[in-house]
Structure 1
């Protein structure tokens, strides 16, 4: 456990919200120094290591980028280039990236080093997860295709406080823009133009009438959603607007999507997909059960299979054919906050959990 805690502190202290090079260097150098694995750094900044042999491959997956820190999370009060602040108190480690997800990343690195794997064991730390899975997609495009993967995003505290569960599914996110075009005119003669705001409002009415999909994965229910979150149109109080844009946030579930294409039935409206982060569904109940068995062995609580509301790199891996679960130290509400933290005992738990999975799957 001491190695996981020390490694977490080291990784968290390294800024990686704009430039991930130094964090990737730290991950790569530790793997080269501490393991006999084959270690590779690809053009996207991903660090991928392999050790062991067998008929199947199991990957422990994380990422070393983070979202921008709050000023109080940076030494010197937000001065560029300084280290991130890392503080230990009350059984927790505080700092940007402790929960999302350098803590679980460190646990996976130590487990990768110490495990006696039953098959080929792979470690991957991706770049650009917070930018829509840039690193994961690049790795997949270059042939990264493990048979199984445990993605170390947060799964602690879903079924009960402090219990590390195993997520067998998560939602995706599709962000769209409805672009309504009309014809400008003076507002004193509205009939001389085509009001783009009116057309946008008609498209919004279509969105409001659409049913969000739902599905069940290994007994876990996922309910999708769709909502208009922004609207922007018009140029002046006395001008009939010729353009209006509407932002739509859609939370997707495996195998189902809202039929947003129906908005294009409104004259002058175009539906544009800006981002599409895929959902994840574990397609192997035996693998999900094996990880759950490992989770039960390393803690006193009773972990369960759960579903996460947030997209992760597991979505990209699952879409490419890897059987995935999500299992990690972070609790709901910790990631991306000014008080981000992770429980130290849970970091040790995850180290042993990952190791047991590597030695049993």
Structure 2
């Protein structure tokens, strides 16, 4: 089976509201095509393992997608009106999930199937020997698009690889037609800050406490904070704080008793912006609504191993780079897994109305994943 065929099969399966059918396909494919130990956990994550040893290398992806557009779903005259449309033209596959990230998942599945794990005692190569040099894993999570639900569940129930290659996009970061190796990315913390006051009639405003005034003072406090930054791979990852929504008041002639605003915070590995300072005045409450962790690989040998495999799989010269947004690698990294990101998606492709992925780059990723598995595990 080619990476194009497997990507087509995966992309065609609807998985923006319910990942069950995609999980069924993955589980069946792994049981049919490999001799790995395959499990499906309570939330729908599919994880396959072969080999054993002191260290584990995992290829990690997800099989949920964001909601497709009408044009990305088959019409009612098709065999399945709910099936996603997949089209091939000009060397690319088009369809919801091609870039984010069923194409990368297909490449990882094939590399996992075709990888052999060396047994140190005999020198033989086998797909799943009990005495092999290390364990090789492929994992596909649910709920990445809604905050990493699947990744968090897997970690809470014992998923703990030593190393992971996460198949999110890293193509065209350092230059055109190059798939780079991302060794860090930002996280995102979303907060709601609520200012409480005392309602009063606007004609007697001094008898109340204006929550909007308190909120604007808190906003000034947010704007005065200096987000941290960190230097990685010759780049500077800079944190950012942005007030994005505000809501308060009940009527034109009433002093408002409540006003709240939201803050989008882009976090970096290491320190956080001191948002707690905003709550120091009386009447200010801070609630964290979402906290997607950043990621940074601290194992230089692992990053260089993946970079060497990437360089051997393409004509261009890949580099170690950073990404601006959060992925499941953040959850893994926070739990202690050394992660890098390597995948076919290019900036601006994910979640778009005409989402697509390069077939040549899919083949490149498949070969890189295969080389990573072979070179890293046989060296342990």
Deviates more, 1:204-213 or 1:188-197: 188-197
Number of positions where the alignment pairs a residue of Structure 1 with one of Structure 2: 359
Deviation at 1:218, TM superposition (A): 4.5
Write the deviation string for residues 114-153 of structure 1: whole angstroms up to 9, x where unpaired. Answer: 0123521001000111111100000000110011000000
Matching residue of 1:227: 242
Specify the alignment match of 1:157 in structure 2.
172
The corresponding residue for 2:103 is 103
TM-score by length of 2: 0.92
Residue number in structure 1 paired with 2:42: 43
In the alignment, which of 201, 204, 209 is matched to residue 219 of structure 2?
204
How far does residue 186 in structure 1 lie from its aligned partner after superposition?
Answer: 1.3
Residue equivalent to 2:295: 280
For 1:357, the equivalent position in structure 2 comes to: 372
Equivalent residue, structure 1, for 2:93: 93
Alignment correspondent of 1:16: 15
Supply the distance in 2 between the matched residues of 1:277 and 1:37 (Cα, whole angstroms): 31
Find the aligned partners of 1:148 and 1:350 in 2 and give their Cα distance.
17
Check the 8 A contact 1:15/1:81 in 2, yes or no. no
Q: How is 1:281-296 mapped onto 2 (pairs within 5 angstroms)?
A: 281-296=296-311
**Hey, what's the Cα distance between the residues in 2 that align with 1:97 and 1:307?**
22
Question: Structure 1 segments of 4 or more deviating over 6 A?
Answer: none
1:28 aligns with 2:45: no
Matched, 1:187 2:202: yes
Query: Aligned-pair distance for 1:55?
Result: 2.5
Alpha-carbon distance in 1 for matches of 2:138, 2:178: 24
Question: What is the alpha-carbon distance in structure 2 between the residues aligned to residue 7 and residue 188 of structure 1?
Answer: 69
Checking the alignment, whether the CA contact within 8 Å between 1:117 and 1:360 is kept in structure 2 is: no
Deviation (angstroms), 1:44: 1.1
User: Which of 126, 135, 156 is the equivalent residue of 1:120?
Assistant: 135
Quote how far apart the aligned CAs of 1:81 are.
6.2
CA positional deviation for 1:53: 2.7
**Superposition RMSD on alpha carbons, in Å?**
1.3
Q: What secondary structure sits across from 1:18 in the alignment? A: coil
Distance 2:274 2:198 in 1: 27
Contact 1:220 1:305 in 2 (8 A): no
In structure 2, distance between residues paired with 1:157 and 1:345? 13
Q: Which residue of 2 aligns with 1:130?
A: 145
5+ unaligned residues in a row in structure 2: which ranges?
Answer: 119-133
1:57 matched to which residue of 2?
Answer: 56
User: How far is 1:52 from its partner?
Assistant: 1.8
Shift of 1:219: 3.9
- For the residue of structure 2 that corresponds to 1:248, the secondary structure is strand
Q: 1:331 corresponds to which residue?
A: 346
